[in-house]
Amino acid sequence: MVKAVLYDSTLCIGCRQCEQACAAGKNLPYNDKIAAEERLSDRKLTTIRTYGERFSRKLCMHCQDPTCVSVCPVTALEKTRLGPVIYHEDRCMGCRYCMAACPFQVPVYEWHSRLPRMRKCDMCADLLVKDQPTRCSTVCPMNATITGERSELLAEARKRIAANPSQYYPEVYGATEAGGTSVFVIAAVAFNQIGYNTLIPKSPMPAFTWSVLQHIPQVVAVGTVLMGGIYWITSRREDVAREEGR
Amino acid sequence: MGTHSRFTFWRIVGAVLLLAALAATVLRFAGSLGDATNLSDRFPWGIWIGFDVLCGVGLAAGGFTLAATVHIFHLKRFEPIVRPAILTAFLGYLLVCAALMFDLGKPWNIWHPLVMWNPHSVMFEVGWCVMLYTTVLFLEFLPLVLERFRLERARRMLRRFMIPVVILGVILSTLHQSSLGTLFLIMPEKMNALWYTPLLPILFFVSAIATGLAMTIFESWHSARAFARQLEFPLIQKLARVLAVMIAVYLAMRFMDISGRHAWGMLDQPGAERWLFTLEIVLMAVPMLLLLREKTRRSPQAIYLSSVMYLLGFVTNRLNVGITSLERASGVEYMPKWSEVAVTLGLVAAGFAIFRLAAQHLPVFEDAVEPAPPAAWEEEAPGPAYAAAQRQ
């Protein structure tokens, strides 16, 4: 069963208990100053962002076909069967390609550590395996963030929009972004007005590089034959020229 | 006396650069990436990738271009410049490896791609290409050392494997040069449309070949001056003509690609992008037009200056792809910290210094050794074309 998280911006009151629960779960410091920083960083793996009266939440989207997993040269990132995209810090060499490539700009780095790690939300993978909801879901007083089965949550999101079309923007963010994610967002206004990137391709990103990478065997085979052939012809021509010269 | 003071000047410049790089190194390794760079979560790659890696690898392209010309295509008249080209490429790759040690967050894990495979990752391909091609360049460079120490048997043994090694080097270079463009294909929504194109791998490869030729002209000119040698001028003229054609092919592809994607409209948008794009194109188009003229190709200075201009255009292109094109979408402005610049310039200075040392102590240039040694990897005497080139 694939798990997912649904965030309903219309229910969110911006109390930031999700931030606090996340920090506690990851042993990160949390105080008013950190709460006021409305961006992801190595001490804030999820954040509430304020847009006037409205709020939006940023966390790892846990793509179905994750860009970060595909770009990591050392398989330090893994899409688990349950849905979360998790990070194996002992494998990482710190090339930061995941950060450069992530269309949602989620991965952050411990820039000031001598043993730096990439950091990001892991959808509380430790709790999901025990069939428990994520920390941010458990703590949310408004049920603005909930955890569930991916297909059921997507249906739930669509049901809420259909039941209340005047209150919701008629799309689910995450249903198709980067080929679909395991985090869904619904809101009252267009997503780009509350900080979500709506220019992300609707197909899985790894295809952009795989369409080139898959041709490597051909390049190697054709290149070897071509170079070997040219060498054979030119050296043969030289031999003949030398023989005739004598 | 004039020559002497010029060397002294450059030695002082080099020493200052190396000292600054040393200070930056302390900052990087006693501190952290955050201490030594202006990188951020929104802008994780800076000039250590944009210049040191993207340009470093490109500027090393003369190695495979000339190795293929001389050893695969048997254009023996280019033999006198193949060794300096391979030396440049080998040093270039060593410096790229050094730069990676600065840029990686945990450089001691650099061997991980050897055992933790992800063939879907372009970076995995890049890592393997760096490792394998550096090894190939070492093997191509080794005959110089063996010759210097008169290790005839080892040299003969190595020579037997040389053709497969050269072929492997050409293929690895093709993959590596293009894969540096492929790296960026996964960022379509982040990159400015003046630079993002599915053709990036091919454009990177074609411009790398041109850069290999321009670098060969560049180093021939400088070694001729530094070691008071005869410039292989007829060869340089031929290289210059091919260089002009390669730039023309590259620019034609570039223009057709932008037209095909209807991306010229990006030039209407205010900002630094359009000026840096114009700079990049002008720095390539002007030397192309100059080198297409017979008159330019009669003057060594004109050829040298045109090549330098193209190299600056190439560097501008790589910095534009690696930095300029990504800045807008990132929402932050990246300016390298002094320590980033210091490491980069220090590595360049180290490159010049080591090249000089190697050229003084190893048989890099044919006429530097007495009597004239046999051609590096082949036992045949130089062909008539070679002799004709020498006479001119």
- Testing the interface with B: which of A43, A88, A93 to mutate, by most B Cβ within 10 A? A93
How many structural domains does chain A have? 2
Task: Tell me which of 3.40.50.880, 2.60.40.1930, 1.20.1630.10, 3.60.15.10 is the CATH number of domain B44-386.
Answer: 1.20.1630.10
Q: How many helices (H) and strands (E) are present in chain A, helices listed first? A: 9, 9
Cβ contact, residue pair A234, B120, below 8 Å: no
Length of chain B: 392
Single-letter amino acid, residue A69? V
Distance from the B126 Cα atom to the nearest Cα atom in chain A, whole angstroms: 9
Domain containing A235 equals 215-245
CA A20 from chain centre, in angstroms, equals: 22
What's chain B's average pLDDT? Answer: 90
Pairing of strands A118-119, A108-109: antiparallel
Is B313's Cβ below 8 Å from some Cβ in A?
Answer: no
Distance from the A237 Cα atom to the nearest Cα atom in chain B, whole angstroms: 10
Distance from the B366 Cα atom to the nearest Cα atom in chain A, whole angstroms: 22
Q: Do A232 and A186 sit in the same domain of this protein?
A: no
Is residue A246 scored above 80 in pLDDT? no
Q: Which residue of A has its CA nearest to B68?
A: A227
Tokens of B211: 């850069």
Q: Which residue of A has its CA nearest to B125?
A: A73
What confidence tens digit (pLDDT) does each residue in A52-90 have?
999 999 999 999 999 999 999 999 999 999 999 999 999
Cβ contact, residue pair A206, B383, below 8 Å: no
Q: Do A224 and A112 sit in the same domain of this protein?
A: no
Is A210 inside any structural domain? no
What confidence tens digit (pLDDT) does each residue in B358-392 have?
988 999 886 544 333 334 333 333 444 444 444 44
Which CATH number belongs to the domain containing residue A74 in this structure? 3.30.70.20
Distance from the B38 Cα atom to the nearest Cα atom in chain A, whole angstroms: 10
Which of B40, B68, B188 is opposite residue A201, by nearest beta carbon? B188
Which of A113, A224, A234 is opposite residue B171, by nearest beta carbon? A224
Instruction: Give me the mean pLDDT over the A80-103 stretch.
Output: 97
What confidence tens digit (pLDDT) does each residue in A14-24 have?
999 999 999 99
Helix (H) or strand (E) holding A79: strand A77-79
Cβ contact, residue pair A91, B170, below 8 Å: no
Tokens of B319: 């910095």
Is B384's Cβ below 8 Å from some Cβ in A?
Answer: no
Strand, helix or coil for residue B217: helix
Helix axes of B200-226 and B300-319: crossing angle, nearest 10 degrees: 140
- Testing the interface with A: which of B186, B321, B377, B380 to mutate, by most A Cβ within 10 A? B186
Residue with tokens 């941010």: A136
ipTM of the modeled complex:
0.92
Is residue A136 scored above 50 in pLDDT? yes
Burial class (CB in 10 A: 0-12, 13-18, 19+), B197: buried
Is residue B213 scored above 80 in pLDDT? yes
Is A236's Cβ below 8 Å from some Cβ in B?
Answer: no
Which of chain A's residues have a Cβ under 8 Å away from the Cβ of B35?
A: 112
Q: Do A194 and A226 sit in the same domain of this protein?
A: no
User: How many Å apart are CA A187 and CA A194, to the nearest integer?
Assistant: 9
Which of chain A's residues have a Cβ under 8 Å away from the Cβ of B375?
A: none
Is A163 inside any structural domain? yes
The CA dihedral of A90, A94, A100, A105, to the nearest 10 degrees, is 50
Which of A100, A213, A231 is opposite residue B72, by nearest beta carbon? A231
What confidence tens digit (pLDDT) does each residue in B148-173 have?
999 999 999 998 889 999 999 999 99
Domain boundaries, chain B: 44-386
Omega cis (within 30) before B371 = yes
| Confidence band of B192 (pLDDT split at 50, 70, 90) | very high
Helix (H) or strand (E) holding A105: none
Is residue B94 scored above 70 in pLDDT? yes
Q: Do A157 and A240 sit in the same domain of this protein?
A: no
Q: Which residue of A has its CA nearest to B43?
A: A100
What confidence tens digit (pLDDT) does each residue in A23-59 have?
999 999 999 999 999 999 999 999 999 999 999 999 9
Tokens of A14: 């911006």
Instruction: Give me the mean pLDDT over the B196-223 stretch.
Output: 94
